[in-house]
Amino acid sequence: MIHTTVLLNEAVDALFDNPDAPPDGSDEGAQVYVDATFGRGGHSRLILSRLRPADRLIAFDKDTEALAEAASIRDPRFSIRHQGFSHLDELPPGSVAGVLLDLGISSPQIDNAARGFSFRFEGPLDMRMDTTRGISVAQWLTNAETDKIAEVIRDYGEERFAGPIAKAIVARRQERGPISTTTELAQLVADTVKTREPGQNPATRTFQAFRIFINAELEELQQALAASLQVLRPGGRLVVISFHSLEDRIVKQFIAQHSREVYDRRAPFAQPKVMLLKAVARLKPSAAEVSANPRARSAIMRVAQRTAQ
């Protein structure tokens, strides 16, 4: 399936619609932008179309298939790193004019049965974003304790039947061996979860939970947000597109935390700790975009700007 980039124009406009950015055609020094989640390159290609000749775009992605897609971009202003976006802090402090984080999983990843992300296709229960390192979900489930499995499903999937699902996984492992395929897991969850929201597969939350856990997605997001404060220059933009409440909550709280002055109650006359970010916008896809691409329906984009302090 061809991947349709969510909030494509809106995200790139947010990076560049910045009164502190150099105007088109200006001779101000080169600006560096970061597409921290290259995916299939939709945002990167549009960013490149907006760059001046001296500007640069640095992309990050853990997925080897994304790297293969990036190889088709022959623009000398573009480079990509085979790393997760938590490695943003390896860039020089204050060197970046804009950071874009699109936290969604791409359609080719979901629709490739061999990746194991989807309960709709028979495939190995893998779910790793980077298949060159780490362990798969199936390998983890081979030895994971019931309490840990339940914790993951509950915390990362917000699944109220986390306990029964975890017990069923371990019971199946003891009786017939570990679960190794996506359809085995989906069927086990369906047999365990007797009620579910209309239109939602019973395994949706469990698959989400295992994918987030095995890729340490929330921990990496927190690291990347913290790194963005280091690498963004004053006036630089941070644009984050999230697709579920766990991600958006982290982004919302991060921006809020750094968008207010903090006073030391022990020293009431001291100068407050200055804010490092200014919240700029919150945006959701239009009805027309959701109609054309249903996978956009849960997306939320938040924009913040690095202050001069």
Q: Residue holding tokens 């982004």?
A: 251
The number of beta carbons lying within 10 Å of the beta carbon of residue 109 is 22
The residue behind tokens 């916008």 is 281
Q: 132-141, 196-205, 209-218, 282-291 — which is least confidently predicted? A: 196-205
199-222 pLDDT, tens digit per residue, is 788 999 999 999 999 999 999 999
* Per-residue confidence band for 260, with pLDDT thresholds at 50, 70 and 90: confident
Would the pLDDT of 264 be above 60? Answer: no
Tell me, what's the pLDDT at 151?
98
Sign of the four-CA dihedral 127, 128, 131, 133: negative
Q: Give the tens place of pLDDT for each residue, 47-79.
A: 999 999 999 999 999 999 899 999 999 999 999
Q: Which residues contact 181 (CB under 8 A, 6 or more apart)?
A: 122, 123, 124, 125, 138
Please state the pTM of the whole predicted model.
Answer: 0.89
In this structure, of 131-145, 224-238, 259-273, the range with the lowest mean pLDDT score is: 259-273
Has residue 152 got a pLDDT over 70? yes
Structural domains present in the chain: 8-107+217-306 (3.40.50.150), 131-214 (1.10.150.170)
Give the pLDDT confidence score for residue 5 in this predicted structure.
87
**CB 231 within 8 Å of CB 151:** no
Select from 40, 108, 123, 118 the least CA-distant residue to 80: 40
